[in-house]
Amino acid sequence: MLAAGDKDAAALHGPNVQALSAEDLSALRAQRRDALLARLAATPDSRYGRGPHRLEALPPLSGADFAAEVEAHPPFGRIRLVPDPLIRAGLATAAVPRPTPIAWTRADLDAEAQLGARALRRAGLATRGRSSDCLDGGLVTPGTLAVSDALDALDALALPVGPVTGAPALQRAAEVWDIVQPQLLVVDAPSLAFLYGTDGYPRPRTFAVLLTPADAAELAAPARDDVCRILSVPQVCSFVAGECRVRDGYHVAEDAVLAEIVDGGRLLLSALTRSLTLLRFDTGLRGALDRTPCSCGERHARLRF
Ligand SMILES: [Zn+2]
């Protein structure tokens, strides 16, 4: 057995970022935010208009605003603050009135993979662990592509089986799960709802469930020991925040996302490093941020719904 201290360190995928002191974390957030504002100033034809910009002065961007921006300025809207080539596209479907194209650069995908590894490590998946996912493939995000990248970054085994929301799909998946015995199943809300109350398959130690703003009730429900919830808002970040083993709030990826609570509870998110940059995106969720230390050792603020 590992000593408690080792166990804490081992529970974090990126301790040099996740366990920064409060001062260092605050400095990192300020640095990322200043760099973002510099990119914004250098992109005067963005939808955010000519500067000078203060982030807090920008009006919140609703899902309807975002969808309208993309439609008026295809294919991705005037929100591109980093000119690197876009190498993957998908459809955001949560917190928008209709499926809306989004895209990533190489650097965006690499950053998302690390954040995904961080979230899955928090869910208890070790390096070289075995997992399987029941997410959509193809266009819809968050999907199996994002999770495969994260597992890659964790040197863990990926086994995509597609959505499992009925007996025939479960029978097919169970045949391979019987052989591979995944320790972690990565699911979305519909697959979790079906699998959690069903038997006839090797039950994993933990379900890691990717929830979007469309799953507000599931995000706010009491925590469960065998379910580790992750908030995904793919147009901002596929792995915005996730529960740790303490199961007392969702640690925000504060090196990648700026979370703000306005008007007594509305959660706004800004992408700090992404090429296609949504600023002050209104998730439609209501929550609170807690900066008190968490016993898991991670210092990033916790979000509660
Ligand atoms: Zn924690």
How far is the centre of ligand 1, averaged over its atoms, from the C-alpha of 27 (Å)? 21
Q: Check: CB of residue 81 under 8 Å from CB of residue 46.
A: yes
**What is the domain extent for residue 31?**
4-304
How far is the centre of ligand 1, averaged over its atoms, from the C-alpha of 283 (Å)? 23
How far is the centre of ligand 1, averaged over its atoms, from the C-alpha of 90 (Å)? 31
269 pLDDT more than 90: yes
Supply the CATH number for residue 280's domain.
3.40.50.12780
pTM for this predicted structure: 0.95
120 pLDDT more than 90: yes
Looking at 123-234, list the stretches that DSSP marks H as alpha helix, in order from N- to C-terminal side. Answer: 144-153, 167-180, 189-196, 216-220
Q: What is the mean pLDDT of the chain?
A: 94
Query: What's the total number of domains in the chain?
Result: 1
- pLDDT band, residue 297 (cuts 50/70/90): very high
Enclosing H/E stretch for 29? helix 22-41
221 pLDDT more than 90: yes
Rounded to the nearest angstrom, the gap between the alpha carbon of residue 218 and the centroid of all alpha carbons in its chain is: 15
Cα-based distances in Å from 282 to 38, 59, 254: 23, 10, 17
How far is the centre of ligand 1, averaged over its atoms, from the C-alpha of 249 (Å)? 8
How far is the centre of ligand 1, averaged over its atoms, from the C-alpha of 131 (Å)? 22
| 3 state DSSP class of 193 | helix
How far is the centre of ligand 1, averaged over its atoms, from the C-alpha of 290 (Å)? 11
What is the spatial distance between Cα 303 and Cα 233, in angstroms, rounded to a whole number? 14
How far is the centre of ligand 1, averaged over its atoms, from the C-alpha of 297 (Å)? 6
Per-residue pLDDT, averaged over 16-43, amounts to 96
pLDDT of amino acid 3: 39
Q: Check: CB of residue 99 under 8 Å from CB of residue 93.
A: yes
How far is the centre of ligand 1, averaged over its atoms, from the C-alpha of 95 (Å)? 26
